[in-house]
Amino acid sequence: MAQSARNFMEDQAPVSTTYELASIGNRFLALLIDDLILLAVSFVIGLFLLPFLSDLFSLLLGIALNTAYYWYFWTRRDGQTPGKKAMRIKVIKADGTPISDTDALLRVFGYYVGRVTLGLGYLWAAFDANSQSWHDKMANTYVITTGEAARKTINI
């Protein structure tokens, strides 16, 4: 019986799902919204804590806040930060599943690499066939639209 069940699964045709890739403009606007949210939260925290923190600790606190923000929304909120939700886009794995904790941390690391290189990591998506930035490539993720309009599609 186990043998026939295994053969049945092997004989099935693979399922192909089409996703609409998010535009570079929508991705940029989502990033801008998220950065403004993080800036506001950092400002409020800084008002109360900055007088008591060293420069190094302030930097580490900012990195921790940024990492926690993206990790939480990507892994616990269906791949959508508030910025991505406003722009009707989300992050998925190459197989169409939600991203894992490890994927989220790889993407955050990629964000830092993209910013340290004066935005080259982000700009890469404009020239990539699948609109992937460096952080997408690092985590094997795609940013897709959850809306109606499509510019490019990818079959997974």
Q: What are the residue ranges spanned by the domains of the chain?
A: 19-155
Task: Give the least confident one: 7-21, 80-94, 109-123.
Answer: 7-21
pTM confidence score: 0.76
Task: Say whether pLDDT at 84 is over 50.
Answer: yes
Task: Say whether pLDDT at 43 is over 90.
Answer: no
- For 67, residues 6+ apart whose C-beta sits below 8 A from its C-beta are 105, 108
Instruction: Tell me what the pLDDT averaged over the chain comes to.
Output: 82
Look at residues 76, 75, 78, 68 and name the one whose alpha carbon lies nearest to residue 34: 68
Task: Say whether pLDDT at 17 is over 90.
Answer: no
| 14 vs 98 pLDDT, higher one | 98
Task: Say whether pLDDT at 27 is over 70.
Answer: yes
pLDDT band at 93 (very low <50, low <70, confident <90, very high): very high
- Share above pLDDT 90 across residues of the chain, in percent, rounded to a whole number: 40
Phi-psi region of 118 (alpha: psi -120 to 50; beta: other; left: phi over 0): left
Per-residue pLDDT at 28:
93
- pLDDT tens digits along 57-76: 878 888 888 888 888 877 77
